[in-house]
């Protein structure tokens, strides 16, 4: 039985990866390590929390000694590292939180893995990162795996630093690593500071939908379950030392995405067409707001056979349906009551 550590497994992307691995690989022991900050939510994993091959550990990756103790206890065969501070706006107001979590936290995990994996025989340290490390694109072109790094925010700079450190540990110490960089994820269980769930929640509650600048910034959108499937493939099939870009081939201007969401929500809520669009409110643009991201995912498609399963409109419909059917989940995490749930779950364990 392999024992796999998934960090940040109570978060948005992490919870989908944990669920996939717990259900698909009953012969693996999956250890979900999460510090349960504001965006970590054990309610994301209620359906598998009692699975025999699943264990939750509440811990902070910035605590290096604790990471060594946990690695000594479980003797992990692999690490899938998703734990990170990830919201650009928060990085602008509180950059040091991102330095500690994304850089120091990653180094602590690398050191713990290096200490426990003395022979580097069959282990793998898989680091999940973002396309934002590449900087900003103009009207044309794509990010490739060999695109030079040019981070523009404290968040992307901290992720770029962690990427470099993972590669440095591979080249310096021989640590067996792989890296992937993904485009913007959307789907169920995403904390509503992000654009898609924020807009859905505000439309449902007839609140203004904030749009930066003129809404002309372009992002490539990837359905979270497609991302989890790519992570599964990379973990099992990728060669050590490789990097893969994961993108949805779904480029949308922010304002066009919001208008599509408004159209879908009006239909789902039986409102007159155009009702929700009246909630759009243009606000001052974010500092250092990158114009366009677009990923070329040809390498993972060619080498590992991965491709997105959903077109964006289909994935967005599925996402809206989930949020409308899980109003209690949304109310809990936006009311503060979710902290009580965390505490109760941790005491039980």
Question: Which member of 54, 126, 155, 235 is catalytic?
Answer: 155
218: confidence class by pLDDT, cuts 50, 70, 90: very high
Query: How confident is the model at residue 332, as a pLDDT?
Result: 85
Contact, 258 vs 280, CB < 8 A? yes
CATH H-level, domain 3-187+223-250+294-310+341-348: superfamily:
NAD(P)-binding Rossmann-like Domain (3.40.50.720)
Closest CA to 76 of 126, 23, 146: 126
Q: Is 134 considered catalytic here?
A: no
Whether 131 is catalytic is yes
| pLDDT number for residue 348 | 39
The pTM of this model reads: 0.93
Rg (CA), the chain: 20
| Range of weakest confidence among 14-18, 162-166, 169-173, 312-316 | 312-316
pLDDT, residue 346, reads 41
Distance CA 279, CA 209 (A): 6
**pLDDT surpassing 80 at residue 344:** no
Query: pLDDT tens-digit profile of 232-276?
Result: 999 999 999 999 999 988 899 999 999 999 999 999 999 999 999
Give the model's pLDDT for residue 249: 86
Q: What are 245's strand-pairing partners?
A: 181
Residue 340, pLDDT score: 53
Read off the tokens for 80: 């899938």
pLDDT tens digits for 20-57?
999 999 999 999 999 998 888 999 999 999 999 999 99
pLDDT of residue 337: 52
**Of 139, 232, 131, 229, nearest in space to 183 by CA:** 131
Tokens read off for 202:
């505000």
For residue 186, indicate whether it is catalytic: no
List 131, 163, 220, 226, catalytic entry: 131
Render pLDDT for 122-137 as a digit per residue (tens, 0 to 9). 999 999 999 999 999 9
Q: What percent of the chain lies above the pLDDT cut of 70? A: 96
**How is residue 263 written in tokens?**
């159209």
DSSP string covering 240-293? TT-EEEE--S-EEEHHHHHHHHHHHHHHHTTPPTTTGGGGEEEEPPPTT---B-
pLDDT tens per residue across span 80-115: 999 999 888 889 999 999 999 999 999 999 999 999
- Predicted pLDDT of residue 87: 86
Where along the chain do its domains lie? 3-187+223-250+294-310+341-348
Instruction: Kindly name the residue from 34, 49, 132, 163 that is annotated as catalytic.
Output: 132
Give the whole-number percent of the chain exceeding pLDDT 90: 83
């Amino acid at each position: 039985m392999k024992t796999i550590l998934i960090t940040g497994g109570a978060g948005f992307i992490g919870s989908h990866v944990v669920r996939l691995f717990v259900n698909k690989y009953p012969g693996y022991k999956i250890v979900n390590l999460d510090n349960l900050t504001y965006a970590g939510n054990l309610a994301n994993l209620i359906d598998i929390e009692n699975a025999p091959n699943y264990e939750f550990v509440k811990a902070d990756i910035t605590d290096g000694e604790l990471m060594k103790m946990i690695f000594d206890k479980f003797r992990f065969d692999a690490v899938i590292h998703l734990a990170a501070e990830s919201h650009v706006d928060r990085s602008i107001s509180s950059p040091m939180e991102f330095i500690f979590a994304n850089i120091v936290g990653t180094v602590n995990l690398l050191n713990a893995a290096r200490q426990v994996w003395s022979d580097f025989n069959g282990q793998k340290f898989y680091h999940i990162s973002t396309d934002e490390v590449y900087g900003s694109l103009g009207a044309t072109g794509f990010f490739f795996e060999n695109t030079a790094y040019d981070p523009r925010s404290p968040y992307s700079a901290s992720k770029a630093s962690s990427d470099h450190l993972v590669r440095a540990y591979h080249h310096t110490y021989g640590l067996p690593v792989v890296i992937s960089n993904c485009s913007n994820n959307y789907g169920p269980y995403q904390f509503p500071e992000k654009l898609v769930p924020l807009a859905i929640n505000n439309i449902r509650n007839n609140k203004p939908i904030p749009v930066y600048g003129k809404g002309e910034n372009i992002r490539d959108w990837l359905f979270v379950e497609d991302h989890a499937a790519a992570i599964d493939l990379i973990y099992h099939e990728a060669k050590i030392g490789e990097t893969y870009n994961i993108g949805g081939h779904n480029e949308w201007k922010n304002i066009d995405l919001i208008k599509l969401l408004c159209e879908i929500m009006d239909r789902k809520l039986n409102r007159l067409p155009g009702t929700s669009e009246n909630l759009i409110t243009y606000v001052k643009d974010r500092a250092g707001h990158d114009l366009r991201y677009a990923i070329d995912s040809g390498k993972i498609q060619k080498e590992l056979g991965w491709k997105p399963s959903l077109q964006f409109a289909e994935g967005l419909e599925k996402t809206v349906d989930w949020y409308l059917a899980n109003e209690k989940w949304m109310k809990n995490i936006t009311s503060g009551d979710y902290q009580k749930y965390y505490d109760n779950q941790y005491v039980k364990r």
